[in-house]
Amino acid sequence: MLPTIVLVGRPNVGKSTLFNRLTKSRDALVADLPGLTRDRHYGRGIGGDKPFLVVDTGGFEPTAESGILKEMARQTLLAIDEADVIIFLVDGRQGLTPQDKVIGDRLRKSQRPVLLAVNKTEGMQRAIVSAEFHELGLGDPLSISSAHGEGVRDLVELALEPFGEPEREEISNSDRVPMIAIVGRPNVGKSTLVNALLGEERVIAFDEPGTTRDSIHIDLERGGKHYTLIDTAGVRKRGRVFEAIEKFSVVKTMQAIEEANVAILVVDAQEGITEQDAHVAAYILDSGRALVVAINKWDGLKDDEKDWIKREIDRKLQFLDFAKFHYISALKNKGLAELFPSVDGAFKAAMAKLSTPQLTRVLIEATTQHQPPISKGIRPKLRYAHQGGSNPPIVIIHGNHVDGVKDSYKRFLEGTFRKVFQLTGTPLRVQFKQGNNPFATDDDKPKPGEGIVSMRRRKTAQRAELKARSEARDNPDAEKTGAKKLVRKPIVRVTKPRANNKARAKK
């Protein structure tokens, strides 16, 4: 197994900055605000001579007895238990604090190797800055700067020195596993669902909206299959996002949806289907991600309330008819067994490979049963189809006058393809591509601002003119012989004016 390095320290000493430096990513939120990180955050170390895993933890408050700080401390203690090496970060600019001493005493009792790193020492005399931290009794302090990278490589090499080279299969690239994003409004039970699926208290589940602030990636093995769960922050209405940290959390959630293969939308059954639930679902649909909907807290409803919620789902989430709905209770671990078969089916549908001959046959049968409606005096002709991408599946249809295909007919084709190829759980996109005539000249193409009917009239006039010129070339002696050309003249009717009543009386 790869060695695991756990970053521990009091709040706002630079643990997340060091995590991003070691993983060469921006996965962990970084801001000058204590208590930003709350859950354990895992990543793969990059850049060292040996591969390793690095764990970012929340600010460690060992003396916290209640509230969110106690939950954060418990998460840190769980990370310490699974650590091979602990890097204890302290702030060189603030100096040694009583809280650092309490954390140092706690780490000595863990029986794990501990390296003391004095952070934020850029531009300072390192020997003087680190001198007072010898009082912790954790060996010689190493002065580093996680923001600028000073001394970080020496710290990592010292941490990995006791470990040998990993076996070849450990560093080989593994097969791609489905990435599943757990999304929804705040306090609907996303973290509780993650813990229920994992069978352990992996992330903080607290009865307070906004507990989860960052997107946490967690590996999961279930039924012999490997998955990566992404626990995300709750997405509020845009007008109700006030804190800068919460704005960052919403951005991280949107990024997690884009990164995932399948999204599990968690809805609170006791609060009903809200406008924000539909908003999050619409974003997932626009991103093209496969979707499974989990109606949580189902066990706390009466029969008439359950019937009402189902009617609300049919009315407000009708545009998610391609997805499967599951009624679960994450807290009591009910209904979760049927969740992952739907996730597997949605992932399979999102990654499906559709052959060109089958797509074309389905297209021909669909257009035979129901032709595209006429648009601007002409009926679009759809000739053949092929796949243009996956996650979501994209079907590209070639034909003539495809700009006139109406949205209703496009939805008809999407439903037909999804039904024939059994693509349950994933949206499907149909794109049209205009066929080009290789023998067409500039006159055969529509002019700027010219419609199809106007172009037809112009081309008809051009053909009539060409025909007249051709006849003139065929009969060059017509004018010399005095032959007269038959010209169709317009018929003019001459009618006599009616006599008035006085004239009739004289007669």
Binding residues for GTP: 9-16, 56-60, 119-122, 184-191, 231-235, 296-299
Q: Say how far apart CA 144 and CA 130 lie, in whole Å.
A: 10
Q: Say how far apart CA 389 and CA 249 lie, in whole Å.
A: 30
Closest listed residue to residue 11, CA positions, set 25, 31, 26, 476: 31
Longest dimension (CA), the chain: 141
3-state secondary structure 145-179: ECCCCECHHHHHHHHHCCCCCCCHHHHCCCCCCCE
Identify whether the C-beta of residue 176 lies closer than 8 Å to the C-beta of residue 351: no
Phi-psi group of 39: left, alpha or beta (phi > 0 → left; psi -120 to 50 → alpha; rest → beta): beta
Binding residues: 9-16, 56-60, 119-122, 184-191, 231-235, 296-299
CB contact set of 462 (below 8 Å; sequence gap of 6+): 443
Phi-psi group of 362: left, alpha or beta (phi > 0 → left; psi -120 to 50 → alpha; rest → beta): alpha
Q: What backbone torsions phi and psi does residue 352 show, to the nearest 5 degrees?
A: -65, 145
**DSSP classification of residue 106:** H
CB contact set of 388 (below 8 Å; sequence gap of 6+): 394, 395, 396, 431
Q: Say how far apart CA 222 and CA 224 lie, in whole Å.
A: 5
